[in-house]
């Protein structure tokens, strides 16, 4: 048995190059975050690409347990900036700390028409379960 998908390289070097040279639209999808247990049960989806006004809880790293609103999705640096997660610089100014989206859980989704459509498409309760058997 050979490769399952011939469009994807097996080479570590090529995979890393594709990842770090990915365009913004592809980065959006890679920068997805898990949904909280409540949202997962409600929307029947596990993860969704993160977006500016979502509310998140940090579940890994130094800032674990902190909650806040996403103020910026910095695709170029692969990080998000969360409200009130910042450090003071030596000159007194405060600067936001970058958090990777895989280390947060979305607690509140900013829903608009496009986001509803995404969740509707991802709804796993509708796939495959509606098959009836005829005797």
Task: For 60-111, write each residue's pLDDT tens digit.
Answer: 999 999 999 999 999 999 999 999 999 999 999 999 999 999 999 999 999 9
Task: For 46-73, write each residue's pLDDT tens digit.
Answer: 999 999 999 999 999 999 999 999 999 9
Model confidence band, residue 2 (pLDDT cutoffs 50, 70, 90):
confident
Please answer whether residues 63 and 81 qualify as being in contact, where contact means their C-beta atoms are separated by less than 8 angstroms.
no
Which tokens belong to 49?
């690409």
- Alpha-carbon distances of 67 from 5, 53, 133, rounded to whole Å: 39, 13, 47
Please give the model's pTM, rounded to 2 decimal places: 0.85
Q: Where are the beta strands (DSSP E) in 32-132?
A: 32-35, 47-49, 55-58, 67-74, 79-88, 94-99, 104-108
């Amino acid at each position: 048995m050979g490769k399952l998908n011939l469009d994807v390289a097996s080479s570590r070097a090529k995979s890393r190059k594709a990842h770090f040279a990915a365009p913004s639209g592809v980065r959006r999808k890679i920068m997805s975050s898990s949904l909280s247990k409540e949202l997962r049960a409600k929307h029947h989806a596990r993860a969704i690409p993160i977006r500016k006004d979502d509310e998140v809880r940090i579940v890994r790293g130094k800032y674990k347990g902190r909650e806040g609103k996403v103020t910026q999705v910095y695709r170029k640096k692969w990080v998000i900036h969360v409200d009130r997660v910042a450090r003071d610089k030596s000159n007194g100014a405060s600067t936001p700390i970058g958090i990777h989206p895989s280390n947060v859980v979305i607690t509140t989704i900013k829903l608009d028409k496009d986001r509803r459509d995404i969740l509707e498409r991802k709804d796993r309760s509708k796939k495959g379960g509606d098959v009836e058997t005829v005797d």
